[in-house]
Amino acid sequence: MVTVTPPSKICLIADIHSNLAALRAVVQDAGEVDAWWCMGDLVGYGPDPNECVELLAELGAISVAGNHDAGSIGKLSLGRFNLDARLAAAWTGTVLSESSARILDALEETCAEDDCGAFLVHGSPSDPLWEYITSATQAEHNFEAFTGDICFCGHSHVPIVFATPGQDDPEGVAQVVPADGETIELAGDRRYLANVGSVGQPRDGDPRASYVMFEPRAKLITYYRVAYQVERTQGRMEEAGLPAFLIKRLALGR
């Protein structure tokens, strides 16, 4: 029997949303890592879809599909998108290169990284493209929908960690909103569902890009925030004629 040693350090990202300035800031801040995992929505909303897809390809990132990825290439109806999201997705579809579209088309909705005990999805294990997990109640039923020790997701653009009951806290699903630089030790008697936040469009009141460092061997996840040139992305969005609300919200983290 061959024993596979998991990577020691993996950078986790989600919801880049075509924001190249934010993605570059995260790559620089993260430094040398063993792997990159992306929980979907590489594109949508922002001005640089091709550049973001290409950079993730250069990093060798393992990615799952988000609803904006699927919607921008016509694999998903835009009927459920709000007007601004629909306009941005439609615009994205017109500027995607053939190679970027092929990469997005090849993305699976879920990915099991069994060597690390991890499950990757954009929305939720129960509904990979659409469900937002924002409460302990929602998290509770989703623990039954994946195997492994931890599920990493995105979609809500808000960092949060849910954990099943353990010996020290047997009363129900616990939740933590991690601060910048906060490390969470993954206890062996619990399972976890962790939203890694958003690189390109945070919605927790902090406009800085969010990412997570996962150390499978040490059983640790650490949350980080990094500032980037918001004005650069806003200017590029204005040039592209993207909706004003999407431009303004970047500076507010909403």
- The domain in which residue 79 lies consists of 10-252
Residues 154-213 pLDDT 10s: 999 999 999 999 877 667 799 999 999 999 999 999 999 999 999 999 999 999 999 999
Q: Specify if 244 maps to a domain.
A: yes
Q: Per-residue pLDDT for 137 more than 80? A: yes
The model's confidence at residue 1, banded by pLDDT at 50, 70 and 90, is very low
Q: Specify if 62 maps to a domain.
A: yes
Q: Specify if 164 maps to a domain.
A: yes
pTM: 0.95
Residue (of 40, 50, 12) closest to 131 by Cα position: 40
Contact 194, 161 (CB under 8 A): yes
- State phi, psi for 147 to the nearest 5 degrees: -105, 165
Q: Specify if 4 maps to a domain.
A: no
Q: Specify if 3 maps to a domain.
A: no
Which pLDDT value is given to residue 253?
A: 96
Mean pLDDT of the chain: 96
Distance (Å, whole) CA 254 – CA 245: 10
Q: What does each C-alpha distance from 184 to 10, 57, 59, 176, 214 come to in angstroms?
A: 15, 29, 26, 9, 10
- How many domains does one find in the chain? 1
Q: Specify if 1 maps to a domain.
A: no
Residues 6+ apart with CB under 8 A from 62: 35, 36, 37, 38, 111, 113, 120
Q: Specify if 91 maps to a domain.
A: yes
Q: Specify if 101 maps to a domain.
A: yes
Which pLDDT value is given to residue 184?
A: 97
Mean local confidence (pLDDT), 12-16: 98
CATH number, domain of 98, equals 3.60.21.10
